Amino acid sequence: MVKKRKKKKEKQENQNNQKNQDNPKDQQYSIEKIIPKDKFDSLIKGLYKDFKLIVPKEAENEIEFDYLDPENEKYQFPEYQNLRVSPKKFLFPQKEVLYSFEKEGTGIKIKEKEEKIDDQIIFGIRSCDARSYKILDTFFSSGKYSDPYYFSKRNKTLLIGLACNDPMSTCFCTSVGGAPFSSEGLDAILYDLGDNYIFKIISEKGIIFEKYVKEYPDVNKVDLKKKEELATSARGKIQFEINLDNIEKDLDSLFESDIWTKVARRCLSCGACSYVCPTCHCFDVQDKSDKSGGKRVRIWDNCQSSIFTLEASGHNPRNSGKERTRQRIYHKFNYYLKNYKILGCVGCGRCIKVCPTNRDLRESLKIVVETAEKA
Ligand code: SF4
Ligand code: SF4
């Protein structure tokens, strides 16, 4: 069994080496331009005429995604590997009013939300975060209805990525189908070559960017070679790799295993891992009201909280950290595969970085895979 998995892993690595450095499906659009870094601000100002821009910006203590006003500031990307908080909130806000209502006679009158949404670009996101939107798109459009609150913003949003030259020690995107230079889910991508960026159009929607970059020169062979070298180097910096080909089946056999006590041992149920995760999407719906009316609000929730599954009777089907930790792993690595044929994790490593007790999802996955191998 172990031998068979090793062979499979080698095969997977070879395929990934070819597949993940660039996305073969992208080749239909051959628009690749060189943008000198000293011209980058002109590109930003050009885009700003037609789009709102959400970019990584220096905030008080850290770099955060925020709206940019390039008329008042000259923009260059700050130095960052990836940001502590993903840009999920721009399409799925932490707190969102769905509609309001007011008392009218003996009944109530519903007032639908009126929201003007401008065309916008999330600019400078890493490949893992771009893939996370594909997961959110799948979730919010699954079943009978698609979520109008999410898609009202999603349909107005384009994604321009910045390939990841220098992954963090906690990144493991290559184990979950991604790569530091993957362009999956993006409309365009920038590759940082030092003095210049390559700007490459990826999706059909991304063709809209052609007019903003047409004045710049096309890439040449030297630029492309440099990009390939950077992609290989970035991939080589990923410190952890695990073969998750059988993870759905592995987890099928381990629900009652005693590994979950060990895996959950240090968990405080604080929920930080879930709040920073770009793919977590659980929410609660609450009414805030007074005598005259109120509003219905959706807010992020998290499955690590002890009251997440607390029932009105007082019964709690996930009464301990063990059950809640197991749920989080099953949701992302088993139920997602069963329901949508995709993994629910993009390997961004945020949950590992933010955990106050240093719980590490990679260690948990290793325990799962090794236990299943031994069985
Ligand atoms: S951040 Fe760590 S301690 Fe907090 S809920 Fe997640 S795994 Fe548990
Ligand atoms: S589970 Fe952790 S590594 Fe996976 S997408 Fe969420 S925060 Fe990133």
Give, in degrees to the nearest 5, the angle at Cα 339 between 335 and 341: 95
Pocket probe for ligand 2: among 330, 351, 353, the residue whose CB has the most ligand atoms within 8 Å is 351
Q: CB count, 10 Å around CB of 271?
A: 18
Tokens of 48: 């700003």
**Binning pLDDT at 50, 70 and 90, where does residue 73 land?**
confident
The average confidence (pLDDT) of the chain is 92
Contacts of 21 (CB under 8 A, 6+ apart): 179, 181, 228, 231, 232, 235
**Binning pLDDT at 50, 70 and 90, where does residue 196 land?**
very high
Q: Which of 78, 61, 168 is nearest to 123 (CA)?
A: 78
Inter-helix orientation angle 361-374/321-330, to 10°: 80
Over residues 296-349, the pLDDT tens digits come to 999 999 999 999 999 999 999 999 999 999 999 999 999 999 999 999 999 999
pLDDT at 5: 54
Pocket probe for ligand 2: among 361, 362, 364, 366, the residue whose CB has the most ligand atoms within 8 Å is 361
Which sequence spans correspond to the domains of the chain?
2-374
Q: How many whole angstroms from 372 Cα to the centroid of ligand 2?
A: 22
Q: How many whole angstroms from 168 Cα to the centroid of ligand 2?
A: 13
Q: CB count, 10 Å around CB of 176?
A: 21
Ligand number with the minimum distance to the CA of 303: 1
pLDDT at 115: 86
Over residues 207-248, the pLDDT tens digits come to 999 999 999 999 999 999 999 999 999 999 999 999 999 999
Q: How many whole angstroms from 15 Cα to the centroid of ligand 1?
A: 34
Return the ligand 2 atom nearest residue 172 CA: 3
pLDDT at 3 over 60: no
| Cα–Cα distance list, 215 to 194, 200, 210, 251 (Å) | 20, 14, 9, 53
Q: How many whole angstroms from 358 Cα to the centroid of ligand 1?
A: 8
pLDDT at 25: 52
pLDDT at 17: 43
pLDDT at 22: 52
Q: How many whole angstroms from 243 Cα to the centroid of ligand 2?
A: 17
Ligand number with the minimum distance to the CA of 264: 1
**CA-CA distance, 202 to 331, in Å (whole number)?**
30
pLDDT at 72: 82
Pocket probe for ligand 2: among 125, 279, 352, the residue whose CB has the most ligand atoms within 8 Å is 279
Contacts of 40 (CB under 8 A, 6+ apart): 75, 76, 197
Report which protein residue has its CA nearest ligand 2's atom 1.
345
Q: How many whole angstroms from 61 Cα to the centroid of ligand 1?
A: 22
Residue 188, φ and ψ in degrees, nearest 5 = -155, 160
Over residues 4-35, the pLDDT tens digits come to 555 554 444 444 444 444 554 545 577 999 99
Over residues 276-293, the pLDDT tens digits come to 999 999 999 999 999 899
pLDDT at 375: 82
Sign of the dihedral defined by the CA atoms of residues 189, 192, 198, 199, in that order: positive
For residues 30-57, average pLDDT: 95
Helices (H), 40-185: 40-48, 127-140, 148-154
For residues 364-374, average pLDDT: 97
